[in-house]
Amino acid sequence: MEADETWQNLKEVTKRRDDRKKILQGVIVLAICVTCKFDCYAATVSETLDVFESSDSEILETNQTSDYLIPIKTDENSEEGFKDIVEESRKREEERIQKETEIQRGREKARAEERQEARRQAIAYEEEIRKAKEKAKSEQFLYLLPEEELLGKIIEAEAAKSPEDRRRTGSVVLNRVRTTFIDFRDVHTIHEVLYQDVQYHDDTKKAIEEGLEASPEAKEVAHGLLTGNIPCLKERILFQSSTEKDWMAGHVKRSDLPDQEQFYGEPIHFKEGCLPLP
């Protein structure tokens, strides 16, 4: 601490001396230009410099011989004031850097979330395309099956273990193909009956698509219904359900089937819902 104060005193003394010399030099030049009495003025200037130098030497000797150096008062322009300014600038710079870092992190996080969402959507889209292709492939395969073979598979998947129930199940399919009832106006083949929306359960479709084989009994009923050797139910019987429906008239309850009870019936508004024949 004492060395720092000594060094400060030396800097101030040197600075004052240099300033005085510069002032005197300017005065000397001005004096030369104004008057020609150089010798006289030079002597005066020399004496003045000696006085200033002796004054500076006395101040320095007084500070060096004292047991404790005289503290120098500081103001806003002193070294301590400069340190405060530097410290404040450093803090502001750190705050600015911290804010910019937080903003950059936020942007990077948002970009990462956008990439993740885009990746998720791409995966979901690819999965939808894959399922659609598989479904189209399976449907195309089923459409290549003969009608009789497909009808046998539907009977095997839907009917309980009874010849009469197989006949009724197959009759519902063929009645939907042949009827003019408005709910089935767009189905004209057994394939279209199977894939009509909200009709046959997905488990039935899946089982057939995965290669369900019809039993000989189911194949026999399908062949008999298509050739007329086995009579179909009346054309109004268009629905098959595991539970009795309020909108199903003339239903037939199969109470003798303990493993799968089936109901077959016609819609109540059958007459009003049929399209006129061409």
Per DSSP, helices labelled H in 144-264 are 147-158, 163-178, 190-194, 202-209, 216-227
Residue 238: burial class (beta carbons within 10 Å; 0-12, 13-18, 19+): buried
Q: Which residue has the tokens 């026999």?
A: 220
- Non-local CB neighbours of 241 within 8 Å, separated by 6+ positions: 248, 262, 263, 265
For 122, 136, 139, 210, 215, the CA distances from 129, given in Å and listed in that order, are 10, 10, 15, 19, 34
pLDDT (tens digit, 9 = 90+) per residue, 212-245? 889 999 999 999 999 999 999 888 899 888 777 7
Query: 100: which 2 tokens?
Result: 């910019």
The conformational region for residue 275 under phi > 0 = left, psi -120 to 50 = alpha, else beta, is beta
Q: How many whole angstroms separate alpha carbon 230 and alpha carbon 234?
A: 13
pLDDT (tens digit, 9 = 90+) per residue, 90-131? 888 888 999 999 999 899 999 999 999 998 999 988 888 887
pLDDT (tens digit, 9 = 90+) per residue, 11-46? 676 777 777 767 777 667 666 665 655 455 445 545
Enter the pTM of the model.
0.49
